[in-house]
Amino acid sequence: MKATINNFEIDFSKPIDISIPLTNSDQNPIAWYLEKPVIEPVVFGEWIGKVSKGASTNFNNIIFNPHGHGTHTECLGHITREFYSINQCLKQFFFLAELISISPEKHEDDFVITKNQVEKALNGTTPEAIIIRTLPNLDEKKTLKYSNTNPPYLSEDAALFIREMGIQHLLIDLPSVDKERDEGKLLVHKAFWNVKNIENLNDDARLDCTITEMIFVANTILDGSYVLNLQIASFENDASPSKPLLYNLRMLI
């Protein structure tokens, strides 16, 4: 299936998946000091919900944490006292997106993505969504155990710049946009969502904007403009496991 939008052709038959699948194996990426996810059959007495064990169906329980076990999309309810659900905040799912690649800069003991790097990479474009691929981009990102490793993160100035550009959706291949141990300040989350008070949400907070973390963008995918389809499960929770898909744009002559 192909569609034409503003002199661009989009081929919806060729999605580019930038999510990391959730598994119960040791290959699953993990952050925030968790154990690996659990996917196992329901057991009632001697009955085991697995066809290979004699059941008529496979019938599994799944125990996981969206923030620590793979690709996930979160709303500002992640940092507010009042409850906000990603299922209620995200109501549109297709966006014009810009994929950029950045090598975080060394700042003392940290590696940080700066405002200048983001501004230079965007080169004047104003997409609805920004996708940040950090360099070096190794396949091990799909299986990394991030806990206690102080991964790279975004600077507060970079988040403010992204917000001021009007970008609504921020996607990144790291476990968090913020520093792993930041004394609970969460400066980047707050700057992006314009949350000034977690106990009494300000009227201009960005309820319809999202952050997606722990994506993986293969090196074969070129920097540039795409259509993003941001898919979530219908969880009434601050975050949901998600499946962001990219579609190439082809300019019509």
What is the per-residue pLDDT across 26-41, written as a single tens digit (0 to 9) for each? Answer: 999 999 999 999 999 9
Which amino acid, 49?
Answer: G
Q: What is the pLDDT of residue 136?
A: 98
Question: With a cut of 70, which residues of the chain have pLDDT below it?
Answer: 1-7, 251-253
Q: What is the pLDDT of residue 90?
A: 98
- pTM (2 d.p.): 0.95
CATH class of 2-22+69-251: alpha beta
Q: What is the pLDDT of residue 5?
A: 62
Distances (CA, A) of 116 to 28, 105, 129, 229: 33, 11, 18, 28
Q: What is the pLDDT of residue 8?
A: 73
Rounded to whole angstroms, the Cα distance separating 152 from 156 reads 13
Distances (CA, A) of 200 to 61, 76, 80, 205, 221: 37, 13, 8, 11, 42
Q: What is the pLDDT of residue 86?
A: 98
Q: What is the pLDDT of residue 253?
A: 61
Q: Cis link prior to 127 (omega < 30° from 0)?
A: no
User: Which single residue is written with the structure tokens 């209620």?
Assistant: 88
Q: What is the pLDDT of residue 48?
A: 98
CB 193 within 8 A of CB 77: no
